[in-house]
Structure 1
Amino acid sequence: MAMIEEQLPDRIFENPGVTLRPISEGAEKWLYRPIQCLDHGFVYLVDYTGTDLSVVDAARVSYGQGTKSVNTAEGLIRYLRRHVHTSPSEMVEVKFHCKMPIVVARQWVRHRTANINEYSGRYSEMLDEFYLPALDDIKAQAKDNKQGRGDELPLDIRQEVRTRFAEGYRRQYEDYKWFLDVGVAKEIARLGLPVANYTQWYWKIDLHNLMHFLRLRLDSHAQYEIRVYGEAMARIIKDAFPLSFGAFEDYQLHAISFSRLELDVLNANQWPMSRIKADRVVSAGIANKREQAEFIAKLQKLNFVL
């Protein structure tokens, strides 16, 4: 027994009170505190297992030493994140209750590393709640991006779009209720409802895969409607696991990586340079036009393009 105890983290002997599980004060303050998202949605933290120190303990089990101090914990967490050693972060899990439009849920569920239990439209009536975009969020199709928004639309067009959305939602939900009233099964009656209808689920995921989700969904190119949920979860995770989230921000979220072709262009030229010259040297070294544009954007962040 003594040999086993020697391998346990010192902190579990310091406060033998209500629980021996590691507690994150930052996570505790977010439990069951909803953050509103869009017009009818929300995100809140239901539960969590582990803390930043749990990541460290998992990493150090390979040589049998528990966490010694927060300072060394931060250094190790940053090392793990910097060198993409991800399995220790997978030992920490979080569980959210989320309510979102079905169109957002369909994007969200593409992240297949989570456990999900969703509201059942076969068992329960679908909610009379639909996402109605704000006027500022109704824009034209982007000219250079087949899946994004672009320029502003005239105000009268945007107002008419909202009016037609609202009227359509009302008619579709009235039809849905009529189907139910005449005895149509819920699983069939719901077929006429739009993807703007709200659903909700419990969503459980480990910390590493949550950060991967956030890296994609916090990006400026992500659809606004799902980015709102990413921002809400990021607020919670930043408080719950500050050391891990800080390393994630520094080495992934706000970092820049370069391909071999990009490094070749960087090493072969003197920087900074004008935009005209940069376009010329980049196109000479990289054939794909989208890659060229992405590389120019990186160079602009570094102030390498004047």
Structure 2
Amino acid sequence: MIETNLGSLMQNFKPQRVFSCSHTTIEVDGVFVRVPNDGDNSWVPLTREFGKGHHLAVDIEDMLQDPGIIRSARVSTGRDSSAVNEKAKGLIGYLWKDRHVTPSGSGVVFRLKQDTPIGYAQPFFRLFAEHNELSGRYSKLDGPYYTPRNIGYKTREEFDQAEQEAQELYGQLIDMGIAKEMARLVHLYRFRTRFYQTIGLRYLLEFLTWKNVTTRHGETEFYEVRDVIKQVLKHWTPWAFESFKQYPNSIDFSWVNEYIGNYRNQAVLSQVLDSRNVLNKGNTTLLRTFGQENHILSCLDDYPNPLKAFGHGGMTFSMSVPIHVFRQWVRHRNGHWTERRVDFDSIVLNDSFFVPENFRKQKGKVGHYEYVEVEGPENDELLEMFAKHRKACLERYSRLRNRGVAAEIAAMNLPYCFYIPVDWSVSIESLFNFFSLRCDGHAQFEIRQYANSVWDMFAKSFPVLAKVFAKNIHFGDSELIKKFV
């Protein structure tokens, strides 16, 4: 029975690397492999016949992923074994059916490499995972854009023309020495990005259980990526995937629109504690604070990390932020974010785009960049080029909307600098890391302005903690913070 069970799993385990749909490619770059006990010769070194280096012949049972779930579950019973016995498949089904998901979160971990349009990448950054993304601040973004398949001929012509204009302008700005972090503002909201994602099986499965999330991507091709993830799991974790198919554990979110409609206009700014304008059209609004300074400081008695004491206090903000700034900000993951639905029609109507006062040029090498503001007639010329580009994008958006193209599709031709509404509830512990990194002189200017506004509100709300942070914890170079010492 044991051999039959193991043989069945081995037969269905097909470790393929590349999976794709019309817009996204996911590569399985790495997985957990069980390391054998010392003295166990199940891993056999093989010398290549040609070339240099060595190969290891790894025992198939150590390579299988589903047994990782079993080992994680059985450790609680003292049977931490790699054995795949007759009860193993049933155990995986039982765990998933009854929503005992911790073993699938820790027992199977994927390192995925994704290539996807920028608008389709954002949902993945909200999953419980670690990410490292290609930086448009340090690298040229000069690849082809994504164009949806489900558009008509005339619409496709508009998309092609928009891409040509944006790519040419981006190249022109780069040739003029404009910093990459600013040149990317002219890219359209459909350039492609690449990132690594380290994520537990549990969170991929949970993503597949969410149904009727209609607040986003109702008209786009984004959800094709579900089938890509299913193929990854079918090949790499066949037993877990079979359990998912048998017990979908779907979470139906069709009810949320009723509450959004009832409470959207009541909720946000009824009790504003503080508010600051940031950049040309952004703002940071403080809605509430929580935690008492004396209680928080008394909790420094925590062990092994006294900084956890600062988790007993925090702040909630409502903000309007340029999308490229938010993409940096959301990497500070130890907080609770809400990206509110973007009303692209209003963005276009109100011209809600970030426009810099001065463009910047980039000098030096990675890790030692210097940014110098462009001034005088050259800056005026750049602002005029940017305004012309933005005007063309807005006119194209309006033409597409008048033709009946959905807002989310038409918005793919807007420049990557529109403002979006977000809410952020964050602990003081997380704010300390945010302040050290984003108030720092090496942070991009735009996010630094937001960080400074948040710091000012924090220092007024928690003056004692601000001084404790500035004196003992701060590791950046911000003079604004250092003056609190």
For structure 2, list consecutive stretches of 5 or more residues without a partner in the other structure.
Answer: 4-8, 34-64, 253-257, 261-485
- 1:191 corresponds, among 176, 185, 201, to 185
Instruction: Give 1:30's aligned residue.
Output: 16
Partner Cα separation in structure 2 for residue 48 and residue 172 of structure 1: 39
Instruction: Give the partner amino acid of 1:65.
Output: R
Aligned residues of 2:29 and 2:113 also touching (Cα < 8 A): yes
In structure 1, distance between residues paired with 2:251 and 2:187? 42
Higher strand share: 2
More helix by share: 1
2:25 equivalent to 1:42: yes
Q: How many Å separate the matches in 1 of 2:126 and 2:80?
A: 36
1:82 aligns to what? 97
Quote the offset at 1:132 in angstroms. 1.0
- Separation in 1, partners of 2:130, 2:71: 24
Tell me whether 178-187 or 62-71 shows the greater mean CA deviation.
62-71
User: Superposition pairs for residues 1-306 of structure 1, below 5 Å?
Assistant: 29-31=15-17, 34-38=18-22, 41-49=24-32, 51-67=65-81, 69-91=84-106, 92-111=108-127, 113-134=128-149, 137-138=150-151, 158-216=152-210, 223=217, 224-252=220-248
Q: What CA distance in whole angstroms lies between the structure 1 residues aligned with 2:157 and 2:194?
A: 25
Residue 189 (structure 1) shift = 0.4
SS of 1:96's equivalent in the other structure is strand
User: What is the distance in 2 between the residues matched to 1:75 and 1:54?
Assistant: 14
- Relative distance call for 1:108 and 1:256 in structure 2 (3 A) is closer
Structure 1 residues 27 and 173, CA gap change in structure 2 (3 angstroms):
farther
Distance 1:70 1:226 in 2: 39
Taking structure 1 as the reference length, what is the TM-score of the superposition? 0.63
1:108–1:226: 8 Å Cα contact kept in structure 2?
no
- Aligned to 1:128, what secondary structure does the other structure show? coil
Tell me how far apart the structure 2 counterparts of residues 24 and 82 of structure 1 sit (CA, whole Å). Answer: 23
Contact 1:127 1:198 in 2 (8 A): no
SS of 2:87's partner is helix
Q: Distance in 1 between matches of 2:148 and 2:222?
A: 13
Displacement after TM superposition at 1:27 (Å): 6.0
- CA change 1:25–1:225 in 2 (3 A) is farther
Q: Is the 8 A contact 2:28 2:113 kept in 1?
A: yes
Tell me which of the two structures has the higher relative contact order, counting C-alpha pairs closer than 8 angstroms and 6 or more residues apart.
1
Corresponding residue for 1:299? none
Structure 1 pair 36/241, CA: closer, same or farther in 2 (3 Å)?
closer
Q: One-letter code of the match for 1:196?
A: R
- Asked whether the equivalents of residues 93 and 205 of structure 1 are also in contact (C-alpha less than 8 Å), the reply is yes
Is the CA contact 2:204–2:229 (under 8 Å) kept in the aligned structure 1? Answer: no
State the Cα deviation string for residues 162-199 of structure 1 (Å, max 9, x = none).
11111011101100000011110000000011111001
CA distance in 1, matches of 2:259, 2:202: 32
RMSD: 3.0
Pairwise CA distance, 1:209: 0.8
Q: 1:234 to 1:71 in 2, by over 3 A?
A: same
Q: Distance in 1 between matches of 2:167 and 2:10?
A: 43
